[in-house]
Amino acid sequence: MSKKTTIYDIAESLGISPATVSRSLNDHPSISEKTKKKVLEAAKETGYRINKFASNLSLQKSNTIGVIVPRLNSDFMSTVLSGIETIANNAGYNLVISQSLELEEKEKFNTKTLFESGVDALLVSLANETMNYDHFSIFTDRKIPLLFFDRVIDLPNCPTIIIDNEAAGYQATEHLIQQGCKHVIHVSSGLNRSVYKLRYAGYRKALKDAGQNFRERVIQVDNFSPPETKKVIDYIKKSEIPIDGIFVSSDSLAVYIIKELRSNGYNVPNDIKVVGFNNDPVAQVITPELSTIEYPGYKMGKLAGQSILSHLNGSINIETADQIILKHRLIIRESSQK
C-alpha cells in the first residue's frame, strides 16, 4: 500500500518548512504567490489532500451546521432543508442532517452526536414525542448557536421561526364555516407540540366565534401516514351528526382522506369539504384539488440559515432575538368550495 503524502513530504521535496507548506495550502497572506503556486503544484502531483477537519480544529470551527428534523420524507421539510442548504452552501458551510423519526430518544442521540461532531451551530424542528429538553443544554451551556423552526420550544437565548399557527387554524376553519359547514372536525397530531396545539386553538376559536363551539371535534392521529386515514373515515361513518367539513393539519393525510371518502361514496366538496395544511405539491394532483394553508418552507429555511450565519460571522447576535413570524395564506381550491 502506497504511503499517504503529508505536508512534511512536500516540505522536504521543496526545501521549505512544513509551516510554510501549511500556510500556502491555506492561502495565508504572509506567503508569496510564487511559493503558494509551487506548493499547490507539488500537492497536486503527489495527490496530497487537505484535511479540512483537522485544519479547522485549531480554529475551533468546522464549517458545518447540524440540522435535526422529525422526518426527511416530508415535502414541507424538504423545502425547508433546501432553503437552509442554499444559504449555507453559498457561505461555504455544509449541513449535517439527521432525523428523529418523532422519537425523543433519537433526538437526544442526534443532538449528542452532532455536538461531538463539532458542528458550529444547530437548527432543530422538534419530534412529536419530545417532552424534555435538557439534551440541548450541551449547546446552550457552551453558547453554541441553537435555533428552533416550525416545531419549537421557548428556551432562553434560542430564537424560533414559525408562522402564526393559531391564525392559520382559525382561517382554515372560518373558511369551511363560510362555505356552509355546520359540523367541522379537526385532524391533528401531537397536540403537545405548539405547532399543532395552536392550529387546534385557532379551530376552536373559529367555531366559538361562529356559535358552533359545542360542535368541536378533534381526531388525534399518531402521525400523518396513510394508515391513519382509517381512523378518520371510521369516525365519519359512525358519527350520528353528518360531518360536512374537515380541517387537516397535513396535506398528505388530507389527500388520502379525500381518496378514501370518494371510495366510500362521499362527494368532495358537495358532501364534505376539506382543507389541508402546507401547500405540498400533492395538493394540486388530487381531484378535486385541495384547499390549503400555504406554509413558506423554503423562506423559513433561508431565514434560519441566514440567522445562524449572521450570528457566526458576528453581524448579529441571535441570542438577543426572540421569535420570527412568517406570513401564511389560505389557498382556496375545489375541495372546499360550494
Domains 7-50 and 165-295+330-336 share a fold: no
State the angle between helix axes of 165-178 and 194-209 in degrees (0 to 180), rounded to the nearest 10.
40
- With cell 444547530, the residue in question is 122
Quote the CA–CA distance of 148 and 160 in Å, as a whole number. 5
Give 165-295+330-336's CATH code, choosing from 3.60.140.10, 3.50.50.60, 1.10.10.10, 3.40.50.2300.
Answer: 3.40.50.2300
Quote the CA–CA distance of 291 and 254 in Å, as a whole number. 10
Quote the CA–CA distance of 176 and 269 in Å, as a whole number. 11
Question: Looking at residue 237, what is its pLDDT?
Answer: 95
A 10 A CB-CB count for 338 gives 8
pTM over 0.85: no
Name the CATH architecture for the domain at 61-163+297-326: 3-Layer(aba) Sandwich (3.40)
The per-residue pLDDT for range 200-234, each reduced to its tens digit, is 999 999 999 999 988 899 999 988 889 999 999 99
Q: β-strands 329-331, 291-294: how paired?
A: antiparallel
Question: Looking at residue 183, what is its pLDDT?
Answer: 97
Structural contact between residues 180 and 174, judged by C-beta atoms closer than 8 angstroms? no
The per-residue pLDDT for range 175-200, each reduced to its tens digit, is 999 999 999 999 998 788 899 999 99
Reduce the DSSP state of residue 280 to 3 states and report it.
Answer: coil
Quote the CA–CA distance of 255 and 75 in Å, as a whole number. 13
Strand partners of residue 93 = none
**CATH fold group of domain 7-50:** 434 Repressor (Amino-terminal Domain) (1.10.260)
- For the chain, 338 residues long, the average pLDDT of each consecutive 10-residue run is 72 88 80 90 79 52 91 93 95 94 96 92 95 94 93 91 97 98 94 92 97 92 90 95 96 96 96 97 95 96 94 76 90 95
Rg of the chain (C-alpha set):
26
Question: Looking at residue 315, what is its pLDDT?
Answer: 72
Reduce the DSSP state of residue 100 to 3 states and report it.
Answer: coil
Domain residue limits, the chain: 7-50, 61-163+297-326, 165-295+330-336
Q: How far is CA 175 from CA 35, 163, 188, 311, in A?
A: 70, 19, 18, 40
Quote the CA–CA distance of 298 and 326 in Å, as a whole number. 11
State the angle between helix axes of 18-25 and 7-14 in degrees (0 to 180), rounded to the nearest 10.
110
Question: Looking at residue 55, what is its pLDDT?
Answer: 52
Question: What is the Cα 136 distance to its own chain's centre?
Answer: 17
Q: β-strands 160-163, 146-149: how paired?
A: parallel
